[in-house]
Copies of this chain bind each other. A is one copy, B any other.
Amino acid sequence: MKFSDLVQKLGSTTFDLASDPEITSVSAIEAAQPHSLSYIEGIKFAAQIATTSASALVLPLDPTLQTQATERGIAWIADPIPRKAFAESIALFYQPFRPSPQIHPTAVIDPSVQLGQEVAIGAHVVIEAGVKIGDRVCIYPNVVIYPGVVIGDRTVLHANCTIHERSQIGADCIIQSGAVIGAEGFGFVPVPEGWFKMQQSGYVVIEDQVEVGCNSTIDRPALDTTRIGRGTKIDNLVHIAHGCQIGEHCIMAGQVGLAGAVTVGNRVIMAGQVGIVDHVKIGDGAIASAKAGVHHDVAAGAVVTGIPAISHKLFVKSTAVFNRLPEMYQSLRQIQKQLGIERKV
């Protein structure tokens, strides 16, 4: 693809075609070869413009960087969010494999299933009674869908995932391989003989544009609904227990775990391996750092760290002292000695 074609496809208005190079690949800046397109996120990566072998760059709206690229004869486009423009460029060179919109003869589909237009259903898929599948849905091999599930338009279900009864998945979602949606929440009543199972009669609702990572699990509750808000992205091996209410456009990184009935606002970010105790409420825009264990409600916009999680700032300060505790202990002993205090510690 000529660079000028790329500029046109991205709809860029700020650019320098230079020699209008042929672009054959996209690449990280360090690994870039001639004929590849790469990107620079901001001024602090300026030095890389001087050395990269890329033939073209996506740049931020920064005249200094643009001049620098022009002087090296590198073609460029500029964008207020260069990372997004670069992501759009990747999509011009690579689209993930999608099967053709056909139903494989080995798929087992109950006669009552309602299929939309141009649906792709892979080999050995099983779809039980009463399921409704929207238009242009893509279901990869060996997926199992329990009775009554609803799948919105253009949603993709990757191989070997399982969608249980009482689940509703919106449009434009991606459910990655091995994910399990709508299985029975972990609800048991302690009784003298052990644990009495509470049937999980509630629902899972996944709104539009949600992504659920590989082998992640989202359980249905005994009553009411587990809900994942529009645009929320969930990474691999995440556990969302029965009755959680997750807002819109949240990010949950790998191995995050939410206990039952957690409420999460919009645009919340949870880093890897965060755990949230049951019934906790997390305000809009809050951030939980990697491995945080959140036992109490978190205010909107707060950043929390540690187990139990406290303000990130306090955690950093206290941790700095934690690492000097052996010396502090010695100092305290010395003071006690000097003051003739009989020591407790």
**A interface residues (Cβ-Cβ under 8 A, vs B):** 26-28, 31, 81, 83-84, 86-87, 90-91, 93-97, 104, 106, 108, 122-124, 126, 128, 140-142, 144, 146-148, 158-162, 164-165, 174, 176-178, 180, 183-184, 186-189, 191, 193-201, 209, 211, 213-215, 217, 219, 222-224, 230-231, 233, 235-237, 239, 241, 248-249, 251, 253-255, 257, 259, 271-273, 275, 277, 290-291, 293, 295, 306-308, 310, 314, 317-332, 334-336, 338-339, 341, 343-345
Contact = CB atoms under 8 A, between A and B. Distances in A.
Contact of A186 (B140, B199, B233, B293): B233
Given A147-B97, A189-B84, A275-B273, A195 B231 contact: yes
Contacts of A277: 272, 290
Secondary structure at the A interface, as helix, strand, loop or mixed, is: loop
Copies in the complex: 3
Given A97-B146, A146-B159, A321-B328, A341 B335 contact: yes
Contacts of A341: 331, 334-335, 338
A90 B184 CA distance: 14
A323 B128 CA distance: 54
A219 B248 CA distance: 24
6 contacts: A27-B223, A180-B214, A183-B214, A186-B253, A194-B249, A335-B335
A108 B96 contact: no
A331 B322 contact: no
B332 A331 contact: yes
Given A128-B97, A180-B177, A197-B211, A321 B331 contact: no
Given A87-B196, A239-B236, A159 B162 contact: yes
A162 B176 CA distance: 10
A108 B94 contact: no
A269 B78 CA distance: 44
Contacts of A83: 189, 198
Q: Kindly list the 9 A-B residue pairs having the minimum CB-CB distance in the complex, ordered from nearest.
A: A94-B201, A144-B159, A321-B325, A126-B141, A87-B198, A194-B231, A194-B249, A108-B123, A239-B254
B259 A239 contact: no
A223 B29 CA distance: 10
Contacts of A273: 257, 273, 275, 293
